[in-house]
Amino acid sequence: MSNVIAGKKVLVTGAAMGLGKSFAERAIDEGASDVVLWDINEVALAKTAAELQARGKAKIVHQQVDVSDPQAIADAAAAVRERVGDIEILVNNAGIVRGNGYFWETENKADIDKTMAINSLAPMYITLEFLPAMVANTGTESRILNIASSAGLVSNPRMAVYAGSKWAALGWSDSVRLELEQSGNKHVKISTFCPTYINTGMFDGAKGVLFTPMIKQEDAVDTAWNGMKNGTPVNIMPWTSRMNRAIGGLMPQRLRDFYLNAVGVYHSMDEFTGHKN
């Protein structure tokens, strides 16, 4: 596998902790020249930036950014271009999940707006800030990694808004991938990562599905990062999610519902709590 990271300028959203922090660590370890960290949690972000600066030779830039706000994205992106230059590796990792009831039990409509803004719209706005330069720079291999979810592949009760946001993210991401190929801009590759529940704490309380344990964070990072470098279009993890997607596409609707209910997918969010804070 060629090292497409060495000497590149990397930006990671949701970088203060969890997957985002791990992606930033990979970028540093593989010789990135600059690593830009975006997160809304200013305290955790500053702590992570200090840790990463001590990890390697990469220049670390951290910015508190609310990616649910398009203007905040535009302002932060302009600052990145001025201070760092054009981003060549973009990881759209920031995401949220809120609520665990049925859709009609939603009490705070702002949760819908926030979920769609962060999970669906933010990757679009952020990518639009940096993709044109990637396309124009034909002599440089560039990559975009978009973190979606297996919830973008299979419908699931008690997470209707989250699933809707990830369906949108997957459909958009893979469509842009096709546009790049169709237009002959194969030096830019987009990869979409669709995992089930990962043990970062975001999905605390979610039940395991038959033959599908909670994914370890390091395994998720390995799969997503290597897939991004290779330009793998869509990475689905684990194998049971790939199987469920294939079976679901072949089965009649009622039979598919019976199967996914039987293996536990449709009840995986019954006891979801998520992060305590």
b/e map 197-220, b = 16+ CB within 10 Å: bbbbeebeebeebeebebbebeeb
Is 162 noted as a catalytic residue in this protein?
yes
For residues 90 and 142, what is the distance between their CA atoms, to the nearest angstrom? Answer: 8
**Strands 34-39, 9-13: pairing kind:** parallel
Asked whether the beta carbons of 141 and 4 are under 8 A apart, the reply is: yes
Among the listed residues 162, 197, 259, 266, the single catalytic one is 162
Asked whether the beta carbons of 34 and 27 are under 8 A apart, the reply is: no
Cα–Cα separations (whole angstroms), residue 80 to 37, 61, 65, 197, 277: 10, 9, 12, 32, 30
For residues 260 and 206, what is the distance between their CA atoms, to the nearest angstrom? Answer: 16
Q: Which residues are catalytic?
A: 162
